[in-house]
A = this chain, B = another copy of it.
Amino acid sequence: MARILVINPNSSVAVTQGMDESLNVFRTVGGPEILSQCLLDAPIGIETQRDIDSVVLPLSQKIATEKADAYVIACFSDPGLALARETTDSLVLGVAESAYFTAVGLGRRFGVLSIGEGSIPRHARYIQSLGLTNWLAGDLSIKSHVADLTDFERSIDRIGAVGLRLRDEKQADVLILGCVGMSPYRAELERQTGLPVLDPTQAAVARAISLMALGCKPSF
């Protein structure tokens, strides 16, 4: 039985649990084993460039020691993706790239809900490096922090409002949750906007299952 290891490179147990629950939809009889882990000694949330760069080597180390058929790096900055691919011959996917590639097949222009303003230029550079700038309708911040996402009542209004702006002002026809920790908000955001909403970790696990069946690995 194939094994998919989903690594949340921050150390938040709450975020990891919310993420893991969203993956139950892929846990079928005869389907792959899907494990979720966080990275001990990592920051509680990945919000700055220092946070991103500080987990690159530990992530690679973890991948080198824990065997799996596919690894998913479950942070929307896709930290250490290139090094991880250099580290193992198994399939390695980032959740952000997976969300973007899946969105391209679903609509004409996707909108991203970011946690904070600071990550928007980073996303823009990354989307451009993937050649997908034309698909980006807009990227708007909920002006919050990863840690605050654990309070559903406090965050759902901001998330809903930003989703509606992406739909109505930016003409997005697909939405992407720009943080692994937003996973619990997906259903309600779909209900409020009527648009398909991609949870990046789900998108990555779905892509991992697809690519394992097709027997293909990304070459970049």
Contacts and interface: CB of A to CB of B under 8 A. Distances in A.
Contacts of A86: 48-50
Contact of A31 (B28, B131, B133, B173): B28
A38 to B, nearest CB: 20
User: Does more than half of chain A's interface fall in helix, strand or loop, or is it mixed?
Assistant: helix
Nearest to A101: B105
Given A207-B105, A218-B107, A28 B25 contact: no
A192 to B, nearest CB: 15
A12 B25 CA distance: 37
A196 B174 contact: no
Given A26-B213, A50-B87, A128-B130, 12 more contacts: A30-B30, A49-B82, A50-B83, A53-B53, A54-B57, A107-B218, A125-B220, A128-B129, A174-B219, A198-B216, A207-B210, A209-B209
A207 B76 CA distance: 22
A202 interface: yes
Contacts of A121: 108, 219-220
A177 interface: no
Interface residues of A, number: 62
Interface of A: 25-26, 28-31, 48-50, 53-54, 56-57, 60, 80, 82-83, 85-87, 97-98, 101-102, 104-108, 121-122, 124-126, 128-131, 133-135, 173-174, 190, 195-196, 198, 202-203, 206-207, 209-211, 213-220
Given A102-B214, A134-B131, A218-B106, A53 B30 contact: no
Copies of this chain, whole number: 6
A88 B219 CA distance: 35
A219 B173 contact: yes
A31 B218 CA distance: 25
Nearest to A80: B53
Given A31-B30, A210-B210, A106 B57 contact: no
Contacts of A217: 106, 196
